[in-house]
A and B are shown apart, each in its own frame.
Chain A
Amino acid sequence: MGETMTTMRFGMNRDRGVGSIRVDVLVRAHDPVGAASLQSERLDGALDALGASIVSRPGPAPQSRGSRWRWSPAPRGVFALAATTLTLAGGALAATRLFVNADTGRYPTTAWERRAGGPGEELKLAGTNFRQVALQASAGISYPPEYGAWRTWLITVADSTPYQSCPAGSAHSCTVEVSTGVLRGGFAQSAFCAWVYDWRAARTGGRSAEATRAVRVVDGALSWPAVRALDPHPNAKPPYTGPDRRGSKTIFGWMLPYRAAVRQGDLSMIDQLIAANYGGSGCASVAPPAGSRGGTVIPAGRDSR
């Protein structure tokens, strides 16, 4: 009885002994899902339908296409992308003596390329003239008086986030690029925050005319072309929630609470939002660090951060 039971359980001849059999053959014999069991037309039909639904989702990210590597604008993170990429450009400039044109003459040709990399010409961050090109790209984005150096700080900022490096294994040929659209988005974030700071300083300093002007600019920021080009319908929902991850993606939705607070004249709310660095990269990220100001001379009493 015992012999029979053992033979049945282990599927072997006891005379050979357990030690002499190949263990993985024994394990294989107990595979709970036989290969043949998954060969059915109905199962194939279900798999086909699922596969078709997957390719109807947003397409592959283009980061690893060829040797080029492009930005993929993350929700609420335009500035972080822009600032970091600009930093990389600085490093690249220092490392090369040859003139490299930042302009590539390439533009996204398909909708998914625009979604993934942003609209506008792709610019080489290592371009010798990248700084000038970036300044030109941001020319239509206005900053408050005395905050103009935020624009240049965006280019020269040294503190970068680490994720914007060339992918491993491709460093020798990796050319980091940014679309003009994403670059302008970074400047838009920077300018928006500058106007929020300006409103805060004006309110604190009792300068009502300046505060009113700042309210007007902040109020219309979501209509700026640089914003709308990347995010036509900003919303305040957290990004990437729900089973369908397409619906809630927003890049500039973080501006909404700031705008609401400025509209209501709610200084404490603005303080809270700034203190919390609300908005992923947040307004605190775009303000030049104390001591540098990117060359800006901010009059005493105006630095209310």
Chain B
Amino acid sequence: MSVAKMDEVRFDALYRTTRRDVLAFLTRRSGDPDRAADLLAETYLVAWRKLREVPDGQPGRLWLFGVARNLLLKERGRRRSDNVLVERLASELHTAIAPCTGLEDHRSGPLAAAIAQLAQKEREILLLTAWEDLAPREIAIVTGSSANVVRVRLARARSKLRRELESLERRDLSPRTVAANTTT
């Protein structure tokens, strides 16, 4: 098998085993299927070009998350792709996630408000834990920090979020809130 063919086979295996995870990550983080599709294409284009740097197995998946995260961070002001295949993917993604709770919903409501109160790094670690199911040492690889730092931030994020939710709950159950809710 030629070197070029071996590259294709390896990329194909990587792409098939990780693409849904990376697409879900980008969709959650960007909140926009169009941008998610665009960034997915960009992420795997980077992976293709740097295939020899991509580790095998789970580390490869984390490598991709790292690339996707960097692209998200750099995305502001970036030119959108006009690739028809990216547009097709975006269209299918719109259709696929439409029956779900909706991307708009997760950016509003009391939980979203509580999450928004967290520091950006704490929020990111909490969401990588809850939504991407990554362990602290894996998040450390994706974000380029140490596992201990991630653990500390995660504990802090959980604690803050818990306090924030308790505060929201107390507010909702205060006599004034209950009265206001009852009269409406």
Q: Measuring CB to CB, which residues of chain A are less than 8 angstroms from any residue of chain B?
A: 1-3, 5-6, 9-10, 14, 17-19, 23-28, 30-35, 37-40, 42-43, 45-47, 49-51, 53-55, 57-65, 110, 112-113, 243
Contact = CB atoms under 8 A, between A and B. Distances in A.
Contact of B130 (A31, A46, A53): A31
Nearest to B127: A27
B24 interface: yes
Interface string B1-45: 011100110011001100110011001100100000000110011
A38 B182 contact: no
B88 A49 contact: yes
Nearest to A39: B20
A14 B48 contact: no
Contact of B96 (A38, A58, A112): A38
Contacts of B89: 43, 46-47, 49-50
B85 A49 contact: yes
A60 B162 contact: no
30 contacts: A1-B182, A6-B169, A6-B172, A9-B110, A9-B172, A10-B111, A18-B169, A19-B166, A23-B126, A27-B115, A27-B161, A30-B111, A32-B105, A33-B28, A33-B100, A35-B24, A37-B97, A38-B97, A40-B92, A42-B92, A45-B92, A46-B85, A46-B92, A50-B86, A51-B11, A53-B85, A58-B49, A64-B53, A110-B4, A113-B3
B58 interface: no
A299 B11 CA distance: 59
A28 B126 CA distance: 10
A174 B101 CA distance: 52
Contact of B181 (A2, A10, A50, A63): A2
B165 interface: yes
Given A38-B24, A60-B51, A27 B131 contact: yes
Contacts of A6: 169, 172-173
B116 to A, nearest CB: 12
Interface string B90-101: 011101110111
Contacts of A34: 100-101
B101 to A, nearest CB: 6
B48 A54 contact: yes
Contacts of B131: 27-28, 31, 33
> What secondary structure prevails in chain A residues at the interface with B?
helix
Contacts of A26: 111, 165
Nearest to B111: A30
Contacts of A54: 11, 15, 41, 44-45, 48
Interface residues of B, number: 69
B130 A28 contact: yes
A243 B28 contact: no
A94 to B, nearest CB: 30
Contacts of B28: 31-33
B23 A38 contact: yes
Contacts of A110: 2-4
A27 B177 contact: no
Given A42-B95, A58-B49, A47 B23 contact: yes
A18 B162 contact: yes
Contacts of A5: 172, 181
Nearest to B90: A46
Contacts of A17: 166
Nearest to A1: B181
A2 B52 contact: no
Given A33-B103, A51-B44, 12 more contacts: A1-B181, A18-B166, A27-B126, A27-B161, A30-B111, A32-B103, A54-B45, A60-B50, A60-B51, A61-B50, A110-B2, A112-B4
